[in-house]
Structure 1
Amino acid sequence: MQALSILKPGQAGLTEMAVPEPKAGEVAISIAYVGYCGSDLTSYRGLNPLVSYPRVPGHEIAGTIAALGEGVTGLAEGQAVTVIPYFNCGTCHACTTGRPNACVRNQTMGVQREGAMTGRIVVPAAKVLPVDDLPLRDLALIEPCAVGFHAVRRAGLQEGETIVVLGCGMIGLGVLLGALRVGARVIAVDLSDAKLDIAKKLGAHETINARTDVRAAVSALTGEGPDVVIEAVGAEATFLQAVDMVVTTGRVVYIGYAKAPIAYDTKYFITKELDIRGSRNALPEDFAAVIDCLKANPGAGDLIVSRIASLDEAPSALAEWDADPGAFTKILVDLRAG
């Protein structure tokens, strides 16, 4: 079968892979759609220190069960499923304290191990989540949204609080949906008017173009500042902006990875008595919450998906995203003909 591989920085192409068969406790999944993730773009650019080449990307998965390995129960061939794509060790401190998403030996599909940008994959049955009553396409949106939902939980966001979401890419839109689900007031910030329009249509209460004076605009809307800021960009400016604009005694959560060390004036951590938290991957309960959310918002996928490419088009789609990242919110690859 064919697969999309990132062969080396700046080069992606189609390669051949053997068709895998499930062993005991495993499930074979026929892949329908896979979403390109920001980590895939970083790998393509040669900026992901966790990746070796060549690498098959892809961990935002929609598919159907093709075969069950010996001993697998509770699942059936033909079921529509997504996959929890994180593989944890089970023995480190994070794993033994109920936070396997932050496992020190974590391996994510498409990053530290081969991903799903191919016709069929095999994974442990425990990683498979059946999903009913959603379009198959939208199952590929569950994992990236779950990353945003997890950040909202890390923030401890409460009904009636105000949150600023820095970045309206896929993960930022997941934050937006998660924040709306708990009843928060959401202010979305991005450089792209098109992405801000999507955020508004998904329910953002206010939007701000980042080319303006964001701090002044947020102050005008909130007074002393928002209760929570979640950074979903991964840039020095937004890392610093989050601490600057959040209210005294507020919470800042970082999802984005900055590409270089950042120098803070740490007095603000103390004088504002801030809670500053990181957020990594997602937990099964985040996936479940996203599934419920997407069922309650059936038009969300139509707003979020920018392009669907065939497997043959996947290398050029990745190159086009690299050339103009602001033009796309979510690119899906349709593997059904691959």
Structure 2
Amino acid sequence: MRSIILQEPGDFQQVEKNVDNNLEPNEALLRVHRVGICGTDLHAYAGEQPFFSYPRILGHELGVEVVETGSEVENVSVGDQCSVEPYRYNPADQAVRQGKPNCAENMSVLGVHEDGGMREYFKFPAKFLYPSDQLTYDQLALIEPLGIGCHAVNRAAVNSEDNVLVIGAGPIGLGAIQFALAAGADVAVMEIDPGRLAFCQQQFALAGGVDPTDKDAKEQLKDLFDGSLPSVVLDATGNKQSMEHAFDLIAHGGRLVYIGLFQGNVTFHDPSFHKKELTLMASRNALAADFKQIIRSIEEGTISTDPWITHRASMDTMIDEFDQWVNPKSKVIKAILEIT
């Protein structure tokens, strides 16, 4: 089978590898049809991804077809089209036992800690597969990135009484916007890239957009929310300055959720934090319930994936095109690798 391997930063190679179809009773053999390209892949290509080793087959945003199942598999059948939950964990971990496998102490993520989906076939435990007889492979590949935003919105318990600010209009921020809107909240987005800010305002029914380089962000938010500040702030930037500034933008009694992360320390003014009685949360990965919620929402038409995919490539063209996707001038929202 054909596979694309990132041998070292900046060096993809297409190689032929044997298909491992020796299935354990709980496994399924999967044929990969679509792979979404995410920030993790871009950082790995640039040599900036933490907890990463080379060589590695990238890809954890997947739309796959079940071609064979182990003897104990009951949740999927041959021919099913599925999304993949790409987080393998140890059931004995404390977080897993408490119903939070998304933040397990011992976790292996496809395309990061183990080889991922940029290959024609691979096997994986069937319990991590989520079938749909209505969604396309494109849509199924978007379930995982949508799951990151969905989980953050669920963590914050967003509801129709909330004013929500999403900071950062990359793919994760877009997912957070969609699920905050679906929860009935009034939503604004803050973004320094004028193209992405305009994209959000064109695609979604937002309260408005905030450009912090234009004028005071707090005043812009009060203008959008009838004099109020947001009760929920979802920061999807992974930028230290943005994450620390978010404390100033949130209303008293509000909830601040960090979706993005960076390798460093976040600091804040403790008296102001206490005065507002803020709730600060991290959000990592997604839960099985999030995957099921997203599939159901797309099937019912509550969530649309139409705005997402802006660039495509095949296995024969991706290596040459990947450099362009790293360049912000290419205006990539979501690139998709079409394997079959």
Instruction: Give the TM-score, by structure 2 length.
Output: 0.93
* Cα distance, 1:288 vs structure 2: 1.2
- Select between 289-298 and 36-45 the one with higher mean Cα deviation: 289-298
Question: Match of 1:4?
Answer: 4
Post-superposition CA distance 1:94-137 (Å, at most 9, x none): 11110010001111101111111111111111111111212221
- Select between 308-317 and 78-87 the one with higher mean Cα deviation: 308-317
Aligned residue for 1:34, secondary structure, equals strand
Question: Match of 2:210?
Answer: 208
Aligned residue for 1:76, secondary structure, equals coil
CA distance in 1, matches of 2:330, 2:99: 36
Give the superposed CA RMSD. Answer: 1.8
* Cα distance, 1:219 vs structure 2: 2.4
Task: Report the AA paired with residue 218 of structure 1.
Answer: L
Question: Match of 1:55?
Answer: 56
Structure 1 stretches of 4+ with a deviation exceeding 6 A read none
Task: Report the AA paired with residue 70 of structure 1.
Answer: S
| 1:126-137 mapped onto 2 (5 Å cutoff) | 126-137=127-138
* Contact 2:182–2:302 (Cα < 8 Å) also in 1: no
Question: Match of 2:184?
Answer: 183
| 1:37-48 mapped onto 2 (5 Å cutoff) | 37-48=38-49
- Select between 257-266 and 138-147 the one with higher mean Cα deviation: 257-266
Is 2:169 aligned against 1:168?
yes
Question: Match of 1:265?
Answer: 269
| 1:109-120 mapped onto 2 (5 Å cutoff) | 109-120=110-121
CA distance 1:141–1:168, shift in 2 (3 Å): same
Question: Match of 2:84?
Answer: 83
- Select between 274-283 and 84-93 the one with higher mean Cα deviation: 84-93
Question: Match of 1:17?
Answer: 17
CA distance 1:110–1:175, shift in 2 (3 Å): same
CA distance in 1, matches of 2:86, 2:154: 20
CA distance 1:132–1:32, shift in 2 (3 Å): same
Question: Match of 2:73?
Answer: 72
Aligned residue for 2:306, secondary structure, equals helix
* Contact 2:297–2:303 (Cα < 8 Å) also in 1: no
CA distance 1:79–1:297, shift in 2 (3 Å): same
Aligned residue for 1:286, secondary structure, equals helix
* Contact 2:247–2:268 (Cα < 8 Å) also in 1: no
CA distance in 2, matches of 1:179, 1:206: 14
CA distance in 2, matches of 1:135, 1:298: 16
Aligned residue for 1:107, secondary structure, equals strand
Aligned residue for 2:297, secondary structure, equals helix
* Contact 1:198–1:304 (Cα < 8 Å) also in 2: no
CA distance in 2, matches of 1:15, 1:269: 53
What are structure 1's unaligned runs of at least 5 residues? none
Q: Equivalent pairs: percent with the same residue?
A: 29
* Cα distance, 1:326 vs structure 2: 6.8
Post-superposition CA distance 1:258-310 (Å, at most 9, x none): 24333433332222211000000000111111112222338832311011111
What are structure 2's unaligned runs of at least 5 residues? none
Question: Match of 2:106?
Answer: 105
Question: Match of 2:222?
Answer: 219
Q: 1:301 aligns with which of 291, 305, 309?
A: 305
Instruction: Give the TM-score, by structure 1 length.
Output: 0.94
Aligned residue for 2:142, secondary structure, equals helix
Count, aligned residues: 336
* Contact 2:324–2:330 (Cα < 8 Å) also in 1: no
* Contact 2:256–2:281 (Cα < 8 Å) also in 1: yes
* Contact 1:85–1:108 (Cα < 8 Å) also in 2: yes
Task: Report the AA paired with residue 220 of structure 1.
Answer: D
CA distance in 2, matches of 1:202, 1:292: 20
